[in-house]
A and B are shown apart, each in its own frame.
Chain A
Amino acid sequence: MIVATVALERPHEETYLSVGTTARSWLLTTDHKRIGILYMVSITLMFLVGGVAATFMRITLLSPGGGVVAMETYNKLFTIHGVIMVWFFLIPSIPSVLGNFVLPMMLGARDVAFPRLNLASWYIFVAGSLFLLWTVVTGGVDTGWTFYTPYSTQYATSHVVSTTLGVFIVGFSSILTGLNFIVTTHRMRAPGLTWFRLPLFVWSLYATSLILVLATPVLGITLILVTLERWLGIGIFDPALGGDPLLFQHLFWFYSHPAVYIMILPGMGVISELIPTFSRKRLFGYTFVAGASIAIAVLGFLVWGHHMFTAGMSTHAALVFSMLSYLVAIPSAIKVFNWTATLYRGAVSFETPMLYAIGFIGLFTTGGMTGLFLASLAVDVHVTDTYFVIAHFHYIMVGGMVTAYMGGLHYWWPKISGRMYPENLGRLAAMTIFLGFNLTFFPQYILGYLGMPRRYAGYPPEFHVLNVLSTAGASILAVGYALPLAYLLWSLRYGERASANPWGGTTLEWTTSSPPPEHNFAHTPIVTHGPYDYVRGPQGDQRG
């Protein structure tokens, strides 16, 4: 009966989901919204594989002697966990899923600038993923996600080449997505949508795209050099030829430190959308938050050396890298202060996305502050390669980025699916994730500070209690991640129908129906004011 009423209310409205339902209509689509969903399905599968690896690691670490898996297997587990979570989940997570879905709509555009290239980048991602999964099935790789030479080029007996080629391939997917977003942001904005009227999510995606485009090619060529060296048995990182293995680390971190910002900037962008929406208040200091994104992208290229303080580097270089690493914290801090200032005297409500946003601020701040510990030379020498570092970057990447991804997913879920998720379950999951996360990783700060090194399958007995706590937290975290997977799928069929703008959002994607029609808008919107304006309402005109 309810279904019949709904059908009466919406007689023949075609959505992007209803224009085609065959597998072919999905696999050959050039619609940015469908490509976002293709990415969502693929990265969720990769997340499960990476998560299974982490599960086995935590089970191994339940007892000091290890013993659940062989030590070589443990090496493969943490390598696969790192490689998958970094390149096959985190980097594509918010940009390729939420960014693909939302960016053109936020710009008032019908699609990205190069829709076929967009589809191609998904196929490239799938090809890279298959390479990697093939590696896992045929025996894995044990170099760590950093592929340090000369171990990776000369001594490792596992499948280094198929892994580096998989990462190389998936890099092109990143580059093409970044290229597409840059051109789309420059050339596809609706009339009246000036740069300083752009939603902050667009600014952060733009900054992310700059990094994707500038850093990824360097990783690509570095991995090709490693691959060649392994294949030919000769290469330029080989000390026998006068080669310098440290040069590999410089090249690797020249990409991989900016990549850390690929893995947090889009999350910051999501939070900048959630905070004003659920405080009913203009974001405090819009231009500073926008500028901070660009500042992070630029400064992020100048700090790679802080990964190598103990690897052999001149004192002067280390001092400069240390100072620059402190500097890069400033724009991040600006954002945190502006988010909290936005909450002040706002009409704050605590729907699920907002719970994730508030969790993000706490976890990201903790992760960022411990990053400052690591940027100071003396402390870094003490905690290098310990669990302190593990806890630090998991607070940023999981506590920050994954939390923001979950927040964004819930925020845009009504737009993506046209359905509401069950709010109470959503809140329960958000809080479970927050508790589970802290219980997993806070003990690791202490473990690292006490001296437990990373990447070992065993540890001295005095670390037993904290490791058991961490594993217990990981199982709570797993429940927290499983819940949304279940109820979001459930909501696709049984969820309440969503209105066009269930949260009272002010950006352009909320001015079109949920789910949107194939080309997003009935008319190209005309923008007359900036986002987050709760006096004048949503950005576009309300014709259609």
Chain B
Amino acid sequence: MADIRVAYRHAPAPQFDDLVQQREAAALGMWVFLVTEVMLFGGLFTVYTVYRWLHHPAFVEGSRHMALVAGAVNTAVLIASSFTMAQAVQRAQRGLRRGLLGFLASTALLGVVFLGLKAYEYWSHYAEGLVPGALWTYAGQHSGPLQAFFFLYFAMTGLHAVHLTVGIGLVTGLIVLARRRRFTAAYHTPVEVIGLYWHLIDVIWVFLFPLFYLIG
């Protein structure tokens, strides 16, 4: 009986001939989706490049207001989460459920740590009066273009944080499914494609970190 259920669970969806075709389609679908994500962030990176060129002194000034330590720790946290995610995928491929659960949980946890630190950073910018718009109280040099810098900072890191939040939700969903024994060495496509998504979020941060914190 249990065997029949397992076999049924692993039948391909009706539009596919077999599980291989289904897995390849899912992986390709995620890659194409990641391309759209690159283009979404790409628009913002273009704006950043143009304004950095137009208002170089203000962007140098902006980098001085970044919490470098918090940013560096966060970078390490995200890179560690990519490592745990890769380990989770590898455990899934080998059908090791306990390992999969452990690495998925640590991935989600590292994501939450990142968001916590990011929130702390946002709060410190708020305290300094560096939130553009009505809350802007900073009166130093380059106030206009500096607002544009911080607008971009909040837009780009904010969009990144939204993606990370979605990622944590997805990984949590994987944990629920893994606890219900939905994944085996033969079928673990969701772990693989959500892993791809998670790595892309990390890669985007790896670009955001030097652009806002380091170069000046």
What residues of A have a CB within 8 angstroms of the CB of B134 in the complex?
A: 233
Decide if A292 is an interface residue (CB 8 Å cutoff). Answer: no
User: Which one of B46-54, B91-99, B176-184, B198-206 is at the interface?
Assistant: B46-54
Decide if B166 is an interface residue (CB 8 Å cutoff). Answer: no
User: Which one of A107-115, A476-484, A486-494 is at the interface?
Assistant: A107-115
Inter-subunit contact B47/A213 (CB<8 Å): no
Decide if B132 is an interface residue (CB 8 Å cutoff). Answer: yes
Inter-subunit contact B43/A251 (CB<8 Å): yes
What residues of B have a CB within 8 angstroms of the CB of A175 in the complex?
A: 36
State the Cβ distance, B106 to closest chain A Cβ, in Å.
30
What residues of B have a CB within 8 angstroms of the CB of A215 in the complex?
A: 39
Query: When A113-B25, A236-B148, A236-B151 are in contact, do A242 and B40 touch as well, CB less than 8 Å?
Result: no
Q: Which of B21-40 contact A (CB under 8 A)?
A: 21, 24-25, 28-29, 32-33, 35-37, 39-40
Inter-subunit contact A183/B28 (CB<8 Å): yes
State the Cβ distance, A234 to closest chain B Cβ, in Å.
4
Inter-subunit contact A236/B51 (CB<8 Å): yes
CA A45 – CA B108 in complex, angstroms? 45
Inter-subunit contact A235/B15 (CB<8 Å): no
Residue of A111, A180, A251 near B14 (CB, 8 A) is A111
CA A247 – CA B45 in complex, angstroms? 13
- Which partner residue on chain A sits nearest B151 by CB separation? A236
Residue of A179, A217, A225, A232 near B29 (CB, 8 A) is A179
Query: When A182-B32, A213-B32, A242-B144 are in contact, do A235 and B39 touch as well, CB less than 8 Å?
Result: no
Decide if B186 is an interface residue (CB 8 Å cutoff). Answer: no
CA A507 – CA B185 in complex, angstroms? 40
What residues of A have a CB within 8 angstroms of the CB of B41 in the complex?
A: 221
Query: When A111-B14, A183-B29, A218-B43 are in contact, do A243 and B148 touch as well, CB less than 8 Å?
Result: yes
What residues of A have a CB within 8 angstroms of the CB of B13 in the complex?
A: 115
What residues of A have a CB within 8 angstroms of the CB of B32 in the complex?
A: 179, 182-183, 213
Inter-subunit contact B43/A221 (CB<8 Å): yes
Q: Which of A224-273 contact B (CB under 8 A)?
A: 225, 228, 232-236, 240-244, 247, 251
Decide if B171 is an interface residue (CB 8 Å cutoff). Answer: no
- Which partner residue on chain B sits nearest A247 by CB separation? B50
CA A113 – CA B50 in complex, angstroms? 39
Inter-subunit contact A214/B25 (CB<8 Å): no
Count of B interface residues, CB-CB < 8 Å: 38
State the Cβ distance, B175 to closest chain A Cβ, in Å.
23
Of the listed residues B35, B145, B148, the one surrounded by the most CB atoms of chain A closer than 10 A to its CB is B148
Query: When A218-B42, A236-B47 are in contact, do A242 and B15 touch as well, CB less than 8 Å?
Result: no
Residue of A112, A217, A519 near B43 (CB, 8 A) is A217
CA A232 – CA B37 in complex, angstroms? 25
Decide if A523 is an interface residue (CB 8 Å cutoff). Answer: no
CA A241 – CA B142 in complex, angstroms? 9
Annotate B142-166 by CB proximity to A: 1 below 8 A, 0 otherwise.
0011011001100100010000000
Inter-subunit contact A240/B144 (CB<8 Å): yes
Inter-subunit contact A115/B15 (CB<8 Å): yes
What residues of A have a CB within 8 angstroms of the CB of B147 in the complex?
A: 234, 241
Residue of B21, B35, B58, B148 near A214 (CB, 8 A) is B35
Decide if B44 is an interface residue (CB 8 Å cutoff). Answer: yes
What residues of B have a CB within 8 angstroms of the CB of A244 in the complex?
A: 50-51, 54
Annotate B73-115 by CB proximity to A: 1 below 8 A, 0 otherwise.
0000000000000000000000000000000000000000000
Inter-subunit contact A188/B15 (CB<8 Å): yes
Inter-subunit contact A179/B33 (CB<8 Å): yes
Inter-subunit contact A186/B28 (CB<8 Å): yes
Q: Which of A114-144 contact B (CB under 8 A)?
A: 114-115
Decide if A220 is an interface residue (CB 8 Å cutoff). Answer: yes
Decide if B133 is an interface residue (CB 8 Å cutoff). Answer: yes
State the Cβ distance, B24 to closest chain A Cβ, in Å.
6
What residues of B have a CB within 8 angstroms of the CB of A519 in the complex?
A: 14
Residue of A111, A113, A220, A524 near B40 (CB, 8 A) is A220
Decide if B55 is an interface residue (CB 8 Å cutoff). Answer: yes
Inter-subunit contact B47/A214 (CB<8 Å): no
Inter-subunit contact A187/B24 (CB<8 Å): yes
State the Cβ distance, B56 to closest chain A Cβ, in Å.
11
Inter-subunit contact A242/B33 (CB<8 Å): no
Query: When A182-B32, A188-B25 are in contact, do A218 and B39 touch as well, CB less than 8 Å?
Result: yes
State the Cβ distance, B49 to closest chain A Cβ, in Å.
10
State the Cβ distance, B189 to closest chain A Cβ, in Å.
12
Decide if A222 is an interface residue (CB 8 Å cutoff). Answer: yes
Inter-subunit contact A222/B43 (CB<8 Å): yes
Inter-subunit contact A217/B132 (CB<8 Å): no
What residues of B have a CB within 8 angstroms of the CB of A114 in the complex?
A: 25, 29
Residue of B36, B152, B155 near A213 (CB, 8 A) is B36
Inter-subunit contact A217/B39 (CB<8 Å): yes
Inter-subunit contact A232/B133 (CB<8 Å): yes
Inter-subunit contact A241/B25 (CB<8 Å): no
Q: Which of A140-193 contact B (CB under 8 A)?
A: 175, 179-180, 182-183, 186-188
Q: Which of B1-26 contact A (CB under 8 A)?
A: 13-15, 17, 21, 24-25
Task: A236-B148, A243-B148, A251-B46 given; name 15 further pairs at CB < 8 Å.
Answer: A110-B15, A187-B25, A188-B21, A215-B39, A222-B43, A225-B47, A228-B155, A232-B133, A234-B133, A241-B147, A241-B151, A242-B58, A242-B148, A247-B47, A247-B50
14 A-B pairs whose Cβ atoms sit less than 8 Å apart in the complex: A109-B15, A110-B15, A180-B29, A213-B32, A213-B39, A216-B36, A218-B42, A221-B41, A233-B134, A236-B148, A240-B144, A242-B55, A242-B148, A244-B51
A residues near B (Cβ < 8 Å) are 109-115, 175, 179-180, 182-183, 186-188, 213-218, 220-222, 225, 228, 232-236, 240-244, 247, 251, 519, 524
